Structure 1
Amino acid sequence: MASLTALAQGTIPPPPEAPQQEPVAIAVNLAQPTGDYKPIYSWFGYDEGNYTTMRDGKVLLRKLHDLSPVPVYIRVHHLLTSGNGTPELKWSSTGVYSEDATGKPVYNFTILDGIFDEFQAAGVRPMVELGFMPQDLAADLPNRHEPYQVHYPQSTVSGKSDNPPKDYAKWGELARVVTAHLVQRYGRDTVRQWYFEVWNEPDIDYWHASPQDYWKLYDYAVAGVRAALPDAKVGGPASTSPRSPKAYDFLKGFLEHVNTGKSSANGKPLPLDFISFHAKGQPTIVDGKVIMGISSELTDVDHGFQLVSTFPRFRTLPIILSEADPEGCAACSSKVNPANNYRNGTLYPAYTAAAYKRLFQLQDKYRVNLLSMLSWSFEFEGRDYFEGFRSLSTNGIDKPVLNFFRMAALLHGTRVAVTSTGAVPLEQIVQTGVRGNNDTDALATRGTDNTAAVLVWNYNDSNAPGPATPTSVSITGVPATAKRVLVSQYRIDDTHSNAYTAWQAMGSPQHPTTQQYQQLQSAAGLQLLTSPAWLDATNGTVHIATDMPRQSVELITIKW
């Protein structure tokens, strides 16, 4: 890291005598806007809805609220699933609906209220996913004789909880009663700020029926929600990766149904306030090294945005990527799949940073309206430290990836032009990922409050070790009246904002002492690389030099 004293003299220090990596030059032009910066980072989700009310879940919800200046939204599975509220991997329940001996619905909101009360107490907003099917409402399918719940890891998409309803009118009434209860409990003005999404991944075995049956499920659900709250935000279909022809056709069929059809519930035109689908990467292990699959996730987004752009009615609708992740199973730990150990260290945040910019670029390419990149990651209560789940914290200790979201929350205002000699072009990273030279690139914003921020990363799909990249960041467009700027540099790498390497240095204890736990907490938050410093701005330009380790992320903020 070059000294800020040298930088204050208006020069970029030379690279080391024998640089191990070609230097990269990043140019940021604050005077050249490229689009609004939207807080697409502020959405999170998890399978196990009952973790919401557990010890570490409560703590993490408040951390998510506190990291962002804008509302944070939370999406969970199993809000309608039958059971007593005991969570396990990829399963939870509320027992909100049952039927008496005569088939009359019986509602019990105790567990559901506990979840939503905790959302309210933490200051986060729910994205209400209407699923899965209550046991007494699930149809008996002739070719599927399964129990209501099939325990993980035997299956993640089996069991009668994924069956269609035996009575669609009762399903619609369930949606109405639940929505009416939420309105009564939390207030109409509060609930109209939420999003109601129908089901999860109905194009695969989370839905044991045809696409047309899902259209009907959607029709009755949104009719029920809107009967209770006429201006509720409703949408779907939360389908899987559009790079799959089957998933692409499902999403297309759904959009065509809403665009041209009438509701099977009431014969009226179909409402659609947002479109949701999922985007997932695909990591593998080659010669003992993790190789990420960022191209898969970005191809999903590319195909999905392209499809939405072909529907004039929907082109401006918000798109919610209601799961956007490096792969598809948060509950599959690195004990199950060794490739998933990427989740503990710096590869996860570096991947997310590289993908983050490309989501904005793909939005701009297709002129669609991206609202959310929902990270399907939360915490796994009572599991081993750093077990390798896709999570934001482990036993109350923040993982490095949570600090990426803290960085993203410090960007605000307008996106501005960035060029980098080390960037992998959009088309290449969508098609093949980052398999050769590193992607050393940046995303920058300018606020209206005399501030700017530059998010820089050095990413490669391969988790093999490699040298740091000498990187110079030149920021132009600073007002001529600003002679000095205050520069702060935050970093995620092996020695900053990283409780995982601190835990490893302790000997990887599964029962850390009180002192060790406090040390892990100290290492877990977002940390400065150096002390903030005032630098000279010469002719509206500031130069900053930094060495970017492989798989690292840095946020540079400036204020004048």
Structure 2
Amino acid sequence: MVKIKIPKNSDGKKFTSRWRYCVGTGRLGLALQKEYMDTLKFVKENIDFKYIRGHGLLCDDVGIYREDVVGNDVRPFYNFTYIDRIFDSFLELGIRPFVEVGFMPKRLASGTQTVFYWEGNVTPPKDYEKWSNLIKAVVSHFISRYGIDEVVKWPFEIWNEPNLKEFWKDADEKEYFKLYKVTAKAIKEVNENLQVGGPAICGGADYWIEDFLNFCYEENVPVDFVSRHAYTSKQGEYTPHLIYQEIMPSEYMLNEFKTVREIIKNSHFPNLPFHITEYNTSYSPLNPVHDTPFNAAYLARILSEGGDYVDSFSYWTFSDVFEERDVPRSQFHGGFGLVALNKIPKPTFHMFKFFNAMGEEVLYRDNHMLITRRDDGSIALIAWNEIMEKTENPDKEYELEIPVGFKDVFIKKQMIDEDHGNPWGTWIHMGRPRFPSKEQIKTLRDIAKPKIKTGRATSNDGYVNLKFRLGKNAVVLFELTEVMDESNTYIGLDDSKINGY
């Protein structure tokens, strides 16, 4: 048993909400689907992400770039019908775009190479002047529709993972820098106060960030933030429908955060904000790990500590309404989403929701626990027990002395683990129905809730004793609040007279 006496006073450390700054989405065109918007509303209401980032702003399904042929003249036409509908919907929910500029409209592309089921073109523009004009037209339209006071709050991130051949033809660093320069200058030409940044690389190529910042300095190219992605899965075993990968310890991702922060500090732009614009365990939307309690317990430490090193980190993604590897083939299929198809919350959704209850003042933190005091003096405690390898006794037991500023304490406990808030496990019990019936969906939603238990305690010398056990891949939230007892206001109150009491 682990015994800890929590200090009454903090050492000044603050728990930030940087984990809640942004969340990822499938391509923007998916926002035209009803289930997508219903799920985003549900996530926003429960977790309150501030920004949303996704691919496909300039892809043909959103339809911004078109060309009309008039005689021998080819004239660009900019169509904002769908993007207005999409961004209007985001802003009506109170969530702002973190704008990823890409991929290439096919009529403007220099080649035919594409990525994903929905064929995002990843080649440079065949005409950089037309590309620059497109960027200026899009940004000018945003300002015209939403106002500069709003759009100046939107970061503009240029491209996605150009260090990979799948996302940028030949992973050509020099060509990406050209694209970045033209794009950043076009955006700044519209309004110099707009935020531009990149290079949005994936892990394993941090020299790109050094090269990128040197390029921006030497060429006098605008840069307002640095962006990168982070995943902790190794190369995997592929099957026709799924992938299985080994996941590295959470320290691996946190060390990546630290490493890139140091690169920025040692550059010509030491104070630039640093955004992780994608992170998760696996980088594949076909890895069942995303559906499991392990994913929640594993990522809890990232939420607890990640804000110490980055200005934001954006979970990839909020929903399984997602089509990179074709239309999803079953209810649970390893999708990235916090919420599965049919609006069924996964364990990781509840882990995020637990963190939403945390206060700002840190009383205690270690690799498996975070305890905070909220502004009203109440206490919020979250603890997790990710099990990386098979073990005979995965349980952990705790006995904590928690400081409270009141005598009578109401204790609310919420927990997810292998047996609670785990619809994936119930789906397996059902026989893994690919396309569950309405009754099966109802059952999955019913089971996709944390176990909730309440109690009451009396503090002793300003402390409450709290004992609990965490099973395999459990995440627990305790909230300790003051009891405002009004029992004595009920005339003739006598619970002993209640039948069955």
> Is the structural similarity TM-score above 0.5?
yes
Contact conserved, 1:403 with 1:492, CA < 8 A, in 2? yes
- Give the corresponding residue for 2:382: 455
Cα deviation digits, residues 325-353 of structure 1 (max 9, x gap): 112222xx2xxxxxx22222201101111
Cα deviation digits, residues 225-283 of structure 1 (max 9, x gap): 23333322221111111xx2xx11111111122234323xxxxxx2x322111111015
- Give the corresponding residue for 1:473: 400
- Give the corresponding residue for 2:260: 304
Q: How does 1:211-226 map to 2 (within 5 A)?
A: 211-226=173-188
1:343 match: secondary structure: helix
1:547 matches 2:488: no
- Give the corresponding residue for 2:415: 491
Percent identity between matched residues is 26
Cα distance in 1 for partners of 2:144, 2:85 equals 15
Which segments of 5 or more consecutive residues in structure 2 lack a partner in the other structure?
238-242, 483-501
1:276 matches 2:236: no
1:108 matches 2:79: yes
- Give the corresponding residue for 1:509: 433
- Give the corresponding residue for 2:356: 409
Cα distance in 2 for partners of 1:283, 1:490 equals 32
1:169 match: secondary structure: helix
Equivalent position to 1:393, from 325, 334, 339:
339
Q: Comparing 494-503 with 504-513, which one deviates more in the overlay?
A: 504-513
- Give the corresponding residue for 1:322: 277
Contact conserved, 2:279 with 2:313, CA < 8 A, in 1? no
Cα deviation digits, residues 127-178 of structure 1 (max 9, x gap): 11000111122224xxxxxx353554xxx9xx88111122223222222111
Cα distance in 2 for partners of 1:327, 1:34 equals 35
Cα distance in 1 for partners of 2:244, 2:88 equals 43
Cα distance in 2 for partners of 1:174, 1:29 equals 57
2:19 match: secondary structure: coil
- Give the corresponding residue for 1:189: 149
Q: How many residues align?
A: 464
1:198 matches 2:158: yes
Q: Which amino acid aligns with 2:87?
A: F
1:149 matches 2:106: no
Q: Which amino acid aligns with 2:443?
A: Q
1:360: how far off?
Answer: 3.9
1:41 match: secondary structure: helix
Equivalent position to 1:248, from 189, 206, 209:
206
1:46: how far off?
Answer: 2.9
Cα distance in 2 for partners of 1:407, 1:160 equals 36
Q: Which amino acid aligns with 2:264?
A: V
In structure 2, do the counterparts of structure 1 residues 30 and 322 end up closer, same or farther at CA, with 3 Å as the change threshold?
farther
1:499: how far off?
Answer: 1.9
1:238 match: secondary structure: strand
In structure 2, do the counterparts of structure 1 residues 314 and 100 end up closer, same or farther at CA, with 3 Å as the change threshold?
farther
In structure 2, do the counterparts of structure 1 residues 210 and 387 end up closer, same or farther at CA, with 3 Å as the change threshold?
closer
Cα distance in 2 for partners of 1:150, 1:282 equals 21
Cα deviation digits, residues 193-237 of structure 1 (max 9, x gap): 221111111122212263232222222222222333332222111
Cα deviation digits, residues 336-391 of structure 1 (max 9, x gap): xxxx2222220110111123234245x2xxxxx52234334521366311122222
Q: Which amino acid aligns with 1:534?
A: R
Q: Which amino acid aligns with 2:68?
A: D
- Give the corresponding residue for 1:435: none
Contact conserved, 1:27 with 1:475, CA < 8 A, in 2? yes
Cα distance in 2 for partners of 1:35, 1:373 equals 22
1:54 matches 2:54: no
Q: Which amino acid aligns with 2:14?
A: D
Q: Which amino acid aligns with 2:229?
A: H
Cα distance in 1 for partners of 2:215, 2:155 equals 20
1:353 matches 2:300: yes
2:98 match: secondary structure: strand
In structure 2, do the counterparts of structure 1 residues 548 and 114 end up closer, same or farther at CA, with 3 Å as the change threshold?
same
Contact conserved, 2:232 with 2:253, CA < 8 A, in 1? yes
- Give the corresponding residue for 1:16: none
Q: How does 1:7-406 map to 2 (within 5 A)?
A: 23-42=1-20, 43-69=22-48, 71-82=49-60, 85=61, 94-101=62-69, 102-140=73-111, 147-149=112-114, 152=117, 161-205=121-165, 206-208=167-169, 210-241=172-203, 244=204, 247-263=205-221, 270=222, 272-283=223-234, 291-294=246-249, 295-311=251-267, 313-315=269-271, 317-330=272-285, 333=286, 340-361=287-308, 363=309, 369-380=310-321, 383=328, 384-395=330-341, 396-406=343-353
TM normalised by structure 1 equals: 0.76
Cα distance in 2 for partners of 1:215, 1:500 equals 43
Cα distance in 2 for partners of 1:472, 1:274 equals 43
2:420 match: secondary structure: coil
Q: Which amino acid aligns with 1:210?
A: D
1:304 match: secondary structure: helix
Which segments of 5 or more consecutive residues in structure 1 lack a partner in the other structure?
1-22, 86-93, 141-146, 264-269, 334-339, 364-368, 424-440
Cα deviation digits, residues 471-515 of structure 1 (max 9, x gap): 223323x33xx1122221111112322222233334433444433
1:465: how far off?
Answer: 6.9
In structure 2, do the counterparts of structure 1 residues 45 and 31 end up closer, same or farther at CA, with 3 Å as the change threshold?
same
Q: Which amino acid aligns with 1:233?
A: Q
- Give the corresponding residue for 1:429: none
2:426 match: secondary structure: helix
1:312: how far off?
Answer: 6.5
Cα distance in 2 for partners of 1:65, 1:485 equals 30
Contact conserved, 2:411 with 2:480, CA < 8 A, in 1? yes
Q: Which amino acid aligns with 1:25?
A: K
In structure 2, do the counterparts of structure 1 residues 184 and 48 end up closer, same or farther at CA, with 3 Å as the change threshold?
same
Cα distance in 1 for partners of 2:317, 2:53 equals 9
Q: Which amino acid aligns with 2:162?
A: P
1:116: how far off?
Answer: 1.5
1:464: how far off?
Answer: 6.2
CA RMSD of aligned residues (A): 2.6
TM normalised by structure 2 equals: 0.85
Equivalent position to 1:559, from 469, 481, 494:
481
Q: Which amino acid aligns with 1:177?
A: A
In structure 2, do the counterparts of structure 1 residues 95 and 27 end up closer, same or farther at CA, with 3 Å as the change threshold?
farther
In structure 2, do the counterparts of structure 1 residues 464 and 174 end up closer, same or farther at CA, with 3 Å as the change threshold?
farther
Contact conserved, 2:409 with 2:481, CA < 8 A, in 1? yes
Cα distance in 2 for partners of 1:542, 1:260 equals 59
